[in-house]
Amino acid sequence: MSDKHPAKWGLTPQEMATLPTVFSPDLLSGQRFLVTGGSQGMGKAMVFLLARLGAKVMICGRTEEKLARTKSEVKELLGADISYRAMSIRDTDQVDALLDATFEEFGGLDTLVNNAGGQFPQDAIDFTRKGWAAVIDLNLNGTWWMMQGAAQRWRDRGEGGHIVSNVAHVERGMPQAAHTCAARAGVIYLTRTVATEWAPLGIRVNCVAPGAIATEGLSQYPPEATRRLGNVNPMRRMGSGWDVAEGVVYLSAPSGNFITGEILTIDGGMRMWGTVWPAGVPEHFQV
Ligand SMILES: CCCCCCCCC/C=C/C(=O)SCCNC(=O)CCNC(=O)[C@H](O)C(C)(C)COP(=O)(O)OP(=O)(O)OC[C@H]1O[C@@H](n2cnc3c(N)ncnc32)[C@H](O)[C@@H]1OP(=O)(O)O
Ligand SMILES: NC(=O)C1=CN([C@@H]2O[C@H](COP(=O)(O)OP(=O)(O)OC[C@H]3O[C@@H](n4cnc5c(N)ncnc54)[C@H](OP(=O)(O)O)[C@@H]3O)[C@@H](O)[C@H]2O)C=CC1
């Protein structure tokens, strides 16, 4: 994976259809997955891997065109049918409708992957109320409505399930991303709490915590920031959506049967070394 600033970020559909995987082709046969934000980036890599392993997949995102393109690429390259629904996880009515549609179409759900999210880079001191609220609403509230809605349906049907949320590596905080750090820390501690509350219901709850991953989402950042992103861990390169997708499968397949409340960090060691500064390095910190 290149750590330079390419014209287009992320894996191509052809790469996602053919990249090697450690998992066997029938591993997830009959398993039903819902992946939020499955129309690009890490979510799309998850969709390709899940479909290659035999899972039934529903995806969602705000933009219908990107969802439809993903569906047709999966069909064309893998011969598999996935389903989609355009919606925002920030809208509780739309969350309910998505979950109802998924349970109805698939006759249930085995794993919810909370992957949709994002933020903008800014010094915390300059956050507006609206900007703060938008990032918290997307990454903390939206993720929570999905978690709670899935768990309620599993409880009411007397079935168990698995939730894995894509957060971010936030152990050391992240300057110029305090809003997303606060939201992701919230999801991590929701996970660690409901993993216990929901264990009697047969529901496992985990997170994956990526460091810098080359995805289409990075096109929002200037080259100066993305060049730094390729140097923010001891490996001095970015990961790919595939690295995160394989982590999601590990936690969701029988390999994860005894794992709950876990945060699987996939960051090339960024939790030990490297600093992002997505909006630019202040003079005080320049060396
Ligand atoms: C950080 C990386 C490290 C984090 C982790 C570091 C590791 C690597 C980097 C990570 C990269 C990724 O996550 S890549 C994934 C990136 N992808 C995304 O972020 C996509 C999803 N993001 C979004 O949709 C937006 O960022 C988000 C703000 C959350 C929602 O936007 P919406 O316009 O839908 O939301 P609204 O409720 O209308 O609120 C918009 C308000 O947000 C604020 N706002 C929006 N963009 C702004 C901006 N560039 N600068 C200031 N303020 C901004 C303003 O107050 C806007 O109001 P007005 O002024 O009135 O308009
Ligand atoms: N790339 C990175 O280095 C890192 C990313 N992360 C996080 O990992 C997750 C995936 O990242 P990445 O693949 O890079 O992100 P991308 O920006 O490439 O993709 C985000 C996906 O989420 C969807 N989405 C965004 N907002 C909403 C919403 N309100 N409701 C439903 N779907 C939505 C987008 O579709 P649409 O725009 O059509 O709604 C898109 O499919 C995000 O939460 C991201 O913040 C964490 C650490 C590092």
152-210, pLDDT tens digit by residue?
999 999 999 999 999 999 999 999 999 999 999 999 999 999 999 999 999 999 999 99
What does the pLDDT average to over 140-147? 99
> Residue 150 in contact with residue 163, Cβ under 8 Å?
yes
> Residue 145 in contact with residue 88, Cβ under 8 Å?
no
Q: How far is the CA of 92 from the centre of ligand 2 (A)?
A: 18
Can you tell me which atom of ligand 1 is nearest the CA of 220?
Answer: 16
Asked if the model's pLDDT at residue 2 lies above 60, the reply is no
User: Which amino acid makes up residue 143?
Assistant: T
pLDDT at 1: 42
Asked if the model's pLDDT at residue 138 lies above 80, the reply is yes
What does the pLDDT average to over 117-130? 98
* Complete domains list, the chain, with CATH: 24-268 (3.40.50.720)
What does the pLDDT average to over 248-260? 98
What does the pLDDT average to over 9-26? 97
What tokens appear for 37 in the block?
């934000």
What does the pLDDT average to over 241-248? 98
> Residue 209 in contact with residue 167, Cβ under 8 Å?
yes
Can you tell me which atom of ligand 1 is nearest the CA of 134?
Answer: 37
Q: Which ligand is nearest to the CA of 266?
A: 2
The tally of CA atoms less than 13 A away on the side-chain side of residue 228 is 14
Asked if the model's pLDDT at residue 246 lies above 50, the reply is yes
> Residue 138 in contact with residue 90, Cβ under 8 Å?
yes
Can you tell me which atom of ligand 1 is nearest the CA of 218?
Answer: 14
Q: Over pLDDT 70: what percentage of the chain?
A: 98
Q: How confident is the model at residue 4 (pLDDT cuts 50, 70, 90)?
A: low
Decide: 270 in ligand 1 pocket, CB within 6 A.
Answer: no
Q: Mean pLDDT in the chain?
A: 96
* DSSP H helix total and E strand total for the chain: 9, 9
ipTM given for this complex:
0.97
What tokens appear for 59 in the block?
């995806």
Ligand 1 pocket: which of 91, 119, 243 to mutate (most atoms within 8 A of CB): 119
Among 266, 262, 267, 265, CA closest to 252: 262
What does the pLDDT average to over 233-239? 97
What does the pLDDT average to over 35-44? 98
Q: Using alpha carbons only, what angle is made at residue 172 by residues 214 and 120, rounded to the nearest 5 degrees?
A: 50
Q: How far is the CA of 120 from the centre of ligand 1 (A)?
A: 4
Q: What is the pTM of this model?
A: 0.97
pLDDT digit string, tens, across residues 51-110: 999 999 999 999 999 999 999 999 999 999 999 999 999 999 999 999 999 999 999 999
Which one is predicted more confidently, 23 or 8? Answer: 23
What tokens appear for 224 in the block?
């100066």
DSSP string, 116-172: --------GGG--HHHHHHHHIIIIIIHHHHHHHHHHHHHHHT--EEEEEE----TT
